[in-house]
Amino acid sequence: MTKATATERELLEFLLYLGSGLTAAGEAVNQIQEHLLRVAIAYGAPDARISVFPTFLVVSLAPGRPVTQEPTKQLGGGLRLDQTAELYRLLRTAERGEVEPAVGSRRVLAVVAMRPRFGTPVRVLGHAVLTVGICMILIPTWSDLLLAGLFGVLVGFIKLAGNRWTSLQMIMPVIASFTVASITFMLAGSGWGEADLRAMVAPLCTFLPGAMLTMAVVELSAYEMVTGASRLVAGILQLTLLAFGIIGAAQAVGVPPPGAPADVATNTLGWWAPWVGTAVVGLGNYLMLAGPPRSLGWLCLVLYAGWTAQYLGGMVLGGYLSGFAGALALTVVAYLVERAPSGPPALVSFLPGFWLLVPGALTLIGVTEYLGQSTVRGAEDLIDAAGSMVAIALGVLCGHPLYRALAGAMHWSIRRNHPVER
C-alpha cells in the first residue's frame, strides 16, 4: 500500500468518525456536512462529497472515487456537554489541518470513551435540579415543585441505570413515565397531592425530544428530507411512548387521565418563578450533563437571552412569535459566546435552551390529553405545540445569518479601529 493511499484511507476514517461524533452530539446534518467539507479542504480534498444520514455517513474524497459508508451507532448514542466541547475543540483543530488524520480518529474515540467530570450522585442531583427548574418554567404550585424534585431524583436513577443496557433504552420513556404517573395518581388518591401534568412532565424533561423535533423542522427547511423526517418520526414516537406510560398508569391505578394546567391550581410561587427557574435549568444541565469547566456562567447567559427574548416576544408579538424571538436570541448569543476566549462551543449552550422553550413539554401535554379523555383540547394543544416548533425552527434558521452578519460587522470594526501595520 502506498503512502498516498494510506493517507487517503486515514482521512476517510477521520471524516467518518468526526461526522459520527457530531451526529451523536445532536448537530444538524447540514451543519455537519459544512464542517466536514472544511476539514476535507484543509487536508487537500476540496472536491469531497459528504452525505449525512440518521444512522450512517457516506464520504467520497472526489467525484468518481470509491465511496465509504460508516454507521454512526457504533459511537454509542448522545454526548454529554464535556464530550461535545472536547469534540468541537478537535474539530477546530482539524479545520486548520493541524492534526494528523490517524491521530484525529483516535482522539474522537477517546472523546466518546471519556468518563464524566461528575460522579453518579452529582449527575442524579443535577437531574433533580433540572426538573425543579423546568417545573418552575411551567408555572407550578408548591406541591408541584416538591413532587417534581423528588421525581427528578427517581428518574435520574432510572435514566442512568437504563444507559447501561442498550436494549432497554427504547422502552425507558415508558418505564419512567409509568412509574412517575403511577406514584402521582396513588398520592392523589390518598389525598397527598393533585394529579397535575406539570409535576409529571418536569421529571420526564430529559426524555422530551424538544431539540429533536425542532432540529427536524430545521433540517426539513434545509431540504434534508431523509434526516429531518426521521428525526420527526423518532421524536413523535418518543412523545407517544411517554404519553402511553402516563395513560397506562391512569388506567392501572383507576383514575381519570390528568388535566392540563388550565384545569388545576394556578402559579402559587410568584412572578419570579420562571426567572429563577432559568438559572436552575442552567445549573441542572451543567451538573447532569457534566458541563465543561468555566461554562456555567456562559450557559446561564445564553439561557437568559433566550428566555428574556421569548418573554418580551410574547408581550409584543404574541404566543407563536415569542418562540421565534426566543430561538433567534438563543442562536445568536450562543454563537457570539463561542467567540469568547473561554466560551464553550455554541452547541453546548444552544441545545439545553430548547427545554426553556418547552415545545416538547407542550406536545407531551397535548398527546396525553388526546390519548386520554379530552380529545378536542389535546388536538388544540398539539396544533399550538406544532406552531411553536415551526416558529422556534424559523428562529434558529434566521439566527445563523444574523450571527454571521454581526460577526462580520464586528470583524470589520476591529480591523478599522486597529489597522494592521505594514
DSSP 66-104: PPEEEESGGG-S---HHHHHHHHHHHHHHHTT-S-HHHH
Lowest-confidence pick of 169-173, 279-283, 317-321, 332-336:
317-321
pLDDT at residue 272 is higher than 80: yes
Lowest-confidence pick of 20-24, 62-66, 121-125:
62-66
Report the pLDDT averaged over residues 373-382. 53
Cβ pair 130, 206 in contact under 8 A: yes
pLDDT tens, position by position, 336-354: 999 888 889 988 988 888 7
243 burial level (CB within 10 Å; 0-12, 13-18, 19+)? buried
Cβ pair 229, 357 in contact under 8 A: no
Cα radius of gyration rounded to whole Å, the chain: 22
pLDDT tens, position by position, 274-296: 899 899 999 999 999 988 988 99
pLDDT band at residue 192 under the 50/70/90 scheme: low
Q: What percent of the chain stands above pLDDT 90?
A: 24
Q: Which amino acid is at 193?
A: G
pTM: 0.82
pLDDT tens, position by position, 142-167: 877 888 889 999 998 888 877 777 66
Residues near 328 by Cβ (< 8 Å), separated by ≥ 6?
309, 395, 396, 398, 399, 402
Residue-averaged pLDDT of the chain = 79
Name the range with the highest mean pLDDT among 174-188, 254-268, 312-326, 331-345: 331-345
pLDDT at residue 40 is higher than 70: yes
Which among 73, 106, 104, 80 is positioned nearest to 91, based on CA atoms? 104
C-alpha cell at 331: 442562536
Report the pLDDT averaged over residues 197-202. 71
**How much is the pLDDT for 393?**
76
**How much is the pLDDT for 65?**
77
pLDDT tens, position by position, 205-260: 777 776 777 778 778 877 788 888 888 888 888 878 887 887 788 788 776 655 54
Provide the residue ranges of all domains of the chain, joining segments of one domain with +. Answer: 3-112, 120-408
